[in-house]
Amino acid sequence: MQLAKELAETPDLTASSDGTGHKHIEYVSRAVSYKVDGNQKMRTLGIHSASDKSAQTQFNGLKGLLDEFAEVWNSSPSAKTSKLFFYKESYAEKLRGTSGDHAKDVKKQHFDLLQTWKDSVRDSKLGWQKIVQLPAEELTVMLGMLKEKVIDERGGVGVYMHMSMDQVRAMDMEILQALVVELGGKEYNALPESEQRKLSLFVWGGCCMHKDLNTIKGGDKTMQAYWDTNGRIPPVTLANKVNAAILAEAHDDSEKVGQGGAHGQGFERNWSRGSKATPRGLEGYNFASKWS
């Protein structure tokens, strides 16, 4: 309730998400950040299971989740009293950026699925604003011309005459929506560049701490070399799971953790002087878990 209300109130928002697998089940966590009444808010959308980790599945899951939020909030007395409603399309309209790692599914979700959705919502809104301004006669002509084109594409008048009423109504709705998007696209292209930017701003913030990035590899080496170069005492050694066992075995034998011996060589290859320390790594060391 609170989250949907705030999503309806805020003019802009950013989102982040990440996924992981556990016992052959995929899980996706999502969070959003925005301002309400001048106060910065960070809200979680929850952690949910998914059938797979593809971008399409994650995208469909997000839209389904937003529909649930909208259904609960819009049917509440608070929404009806305040006349403040929330729909998933307003989420797309207000979304100004996403952050995530460099995985292919994350990039596809931002640059393909979310971007296309945002563009469609934008054009639909502009299109409806244009349609309500059109004279009825002009709108009827435009819909008629588009309907003739669609009927020809689907097999001609003969096929159309054998369609059920439900099929005709569905086709008419498709035609109307197509016209809305077409008019909206023209309206958008006619706007000044500054106005287009306001409507289309959508930034991707990729993870800047990925271990395979050259900047991170170089930065780690530079940090570890700093202590020797400047004659400073380095941070306390942070051993991983393997080196923890070596340290325990060689607790009173300094030669084993020096330059000589297999234990020493293995330790030197895997030790950290603080630049790679993470909360998860430290906890993994404490609990000797697989994550250390």
Which DSSP string corresponds to 25-58?
EEEEEEEEEEEETTEEEEEEEEEEEES---HHHH
Q: At what angle do helices 165-189 and 115-131 cross, to 10 degrees?
A: 90
Q: Are residues 192 and 226 in the same domain?
A: no
Distance in angstroms between the alpha carbons of the first and the last residue of the chain: 39
Query: Does residue 56 lie in a domain region?
Result: yes
Q: Are residues 20 and 91 in the same domain?
A: yes
Query: Does residue 26 lie in a domain region?
Result: yes
Q: Are residues 222 and 190 in the same domain?
A: no
Q: Are residues 218 and 181 in the same domain?
A: no
Q: Phi and psi for 185 in degrees, rounded to 5?
A: -65, -40
For tokens 């998400």, the residue is 17
Q: Are residues 84 and 6 in the same domain?
A: yes
pLDDT tens by residue, the chain, 292 residues: 899 999 999 999 999 988 888 888 999 999 999 999 889 999 999 999 999 889 999 999 999 999 999 999 999 999 999 999 999 999 999 999 998 877 788 889 898 999 999 999 999 999 999 999 999 999 999 999 999 999 999 899 999 899 999 999 999 999 999 999 999 999 999 999 999 999 999 998 876 555 566 667 788 888 888 988 999 888 876 776 767 777 677 665 555 444 444 444 444 444 454 445 555 555 555 565 554 4
Query: Does residue 202 lie in a domain region?
Result: no
Query: Does residue 221 lie in a domain region?
Result: yes
pLDDT given at position 219: 81
pLDDT given at position 214: 67
Q: Are residues 235 and 281 in the same domain?
A: yes
Give residue 92's domain range. 2-100
Q: Are residues 41 and 68 in the same domain?
A: yes
Amino acid at 215: T
The token pair at 138 is: 């002009």
Query: Does residue 151 lie in a domain region?
Result: yes
Amino acid at 182: E
Q: Are residues 78 and 11 in the same domain?
A: yes
Query: Does residue 121 lie in a domain region?
Result: no
Query: Does residue 120 lie in a domain region?
Result: no
What is the count of structural domains for the chain? 3
Q: Are residues 10 and 93 in the same domain?
A: yes
Query: Does residue 184 lie in a domain region?
Result: yes
CB 30 within 8 A of CB 62: yes
Q: Are residues 81 and 10 in the same domain?
A: yes
pLDDT given at position 183: 95
pLDDT given at position 33: 94
Q: Are residues 8 and 95 in the same domain?
A: yes
| Domain boundary, last residue among 85, 100, 115 | 100
Q: Are residues 141 and 54 in the same domain?
A: no
Q: Phi and psi for 132 in degrees, rounded to 5?
A: -70, -15
| Domain boundary, last residue among 161, 196, 231 | 196
**In which element (H, E) is residue 100 found?**
strand 95-100
